[in-house]
Amino acid sequence: MSRIPVVGGGGIDPSNMGLTLFHEHLRITTEVIRWNWPHLYNEDEELRSAINAVNAAKRFGVKTIIDLTVAGIGRDVKFDEKVARATGINIIMGTGFYTYTEIPFYFRNRGLESLVNAFVHDITVGIQGTNTKAAFVKAVIDSPGLTRDVEMAIRAAARAHVKTGVPIITHSFAGNKSSLELIRIFKEEGVDLSRTVIGHVGDSDDILFIEQILREGVFVGLDRFGLDLYLPLEKRVRTTIELIRRGWVDQILLSHDYCPTIDWYPPEVIRNTVPSWSMTLIFEEVIPRLRSEGVTQEQINKILVDNPRRLFSSRP
Ligand SMILES: [Zn+2]
């Protein structure tokens, strides 16, 4: 079985991932703002927040955290290295380009293959000049749907997967069924759908639509527990229980999409809007609710241990 690269170089066997949060962030920051106005940022405070969040998850037995921060939202391998060193947890990083609309002229004017090559470089050589390799590729689609550039970034992610065998983890928008566009493009590009995650599906509680996605053989991300502004916790819990009851336990992944720092809003707005959002809410609130409704510990282990391992286990 091939090893999964982790932050700091080297790798782990998929069987050693253990309890895994498959979609979190250590820090989201806007590159163009940070580059030009560094005085607006406090790196020490950001580092403290990230270390505190990861240590809190670690106290619940989490062994591996997958950081979905890619280009466009401030991926910074040096920052993740500091968190990995301070906490001793496995941190897995990826490649991809995060955009809802456009990609930079650099790639747009050079074409699709230039973006594929950049992703493959991260996977085979390392991220940002380090020997930390990308372990997955991310694809993103949101409310504007499939713009020309968004399609280019999704196809580039698909081709990087086909070339290297790394899994694809996605961001989709529940409001416009954009997940179906992801699946359509993945099929056109010859992607192994069993090694993809359609992310943020749990922002909807439309069970029939979620089942339509699941029937494609993908994993679905119920991955924003605590982001009550998109869907309240109780509805997320009910959706999770219903999908397990209907037999989809092998294709569900849980996470928070938590960001200890995100510069998109002033910090107090985030504290007031999503006060319970954290990297531990699943352990504090969700699992006890699932257990009280008859979900077994074995099923919970499947979702939090076995499914991430299977996502990252390449087949011969
Ligand atoms: Zn995310």
Q: How far apart are CA 60 and CA 68, in angstroms?
A: 21
Ligand 1 centroid to 73 CA: how many Å? 10
Ligand 1 midpoint to CA 212 (Å): 23
Does an H or E element contain 138, and which?
Answer: strand 137-140
| Long-range pairs of 229-235 with CB within 8 A, sequence gap ≥ 24 | 229/273, 229/274, 230/174, 230/200, 230/203, 231/202, 231/203, 231/204, 231/205, 233/276, 233/281, 233/285, 233/286, 235/205
25 alpha carbon – ligand 1 mean position (Å): 6
Percent over 90 (pLDDT), the chain: 97
User: Ligand 1: distance of its center to the CA of 202 in Å?
Assistant: 13
Centre of ligand 1 from the C-alpha of residue 204, in Å: 16
DSSP class of residue 97 equals: B
Q: Report residue 105 as tokens.
A: 């002229």
Could you read off the pLDDT of 26-37 as tens digits, one per residue?
Answer: 999 999 999 999
Ligand 1 center to 258 CA (angstroms): 7
CA of 200 to the centre of ligand 1 (A): 8
Interval 220-242 mean pLDDT? 97
Is it the case that residue 1 has pLDDT exceeding 60?
A: no
Ligand 1 centre distance from Cα of residue 188 (Å): 25
Task: Kindly indicate the confidence band of residue 314, based on its pLDDT and cuts at 50, 70 and 90.
Answer: confident
Average pLDDT of the residues of the chain: 97
- Give percent of the chain above pLDDT 70: 99
Check whether 60 has a pLDDT greater than 90.
Answer: yes
Q: Give the model's confidence band at 9: pLDDT under 50 very low, under 70 low, under 90 confident, else very high.
A: confident
* Confidence band of 2 (pLDDT split at 50, 70, 90): confident
Tens-digit pLDDT profile for residues 77-96: 999 999 999 999 999 999 99
d(CA 5, CA 7): 7
Q: How far is the CA of 316 from the centre of ligand 1 (A)?
A: 30
CA of 303 relative to ligand 1 center, distance in Å: 19
CA of 3 to the centre of ligand 1 (A): 24
Ion ligand 1 — residues with CB under 5 Å? 68, 257
Separation of 121 CA from ligand 1 center, angstroms? Answer: 22
Distance 278 CA to ligand 1 centre (A): 13
192 CA → ligand 1 middle, Å: 22
Binning pLDDT at 50, 70 and 90, where does residue 316 land?
very low
How far is residue 223's CA from residue 23's CA, in Å, rounded to a whole number? 7
Q: Which structural domains are found in the chain, ordered by start? A: 4-312 (3.20.20.140)
**pLDDT of 133-182, one tens digit each?**
999 999 999 999 999 999 999 999 999 999 999 999 999 999 999 999 99
Taking the centre of ligand 1 as the mean of its atom positions, its distance from the CA of residue 172, in whole angstroms, is 10
Q: Kindly give the distance from the C-alpha atom of residue 160 to the centroid of ligand 1, in angstroms, as a whole number.
A: 20
Q: How many other CB atoms are found less than 10 A from the CB of residue 241?
A: 16
C-alpha 238 to ligand 1 mean position (Å): 22
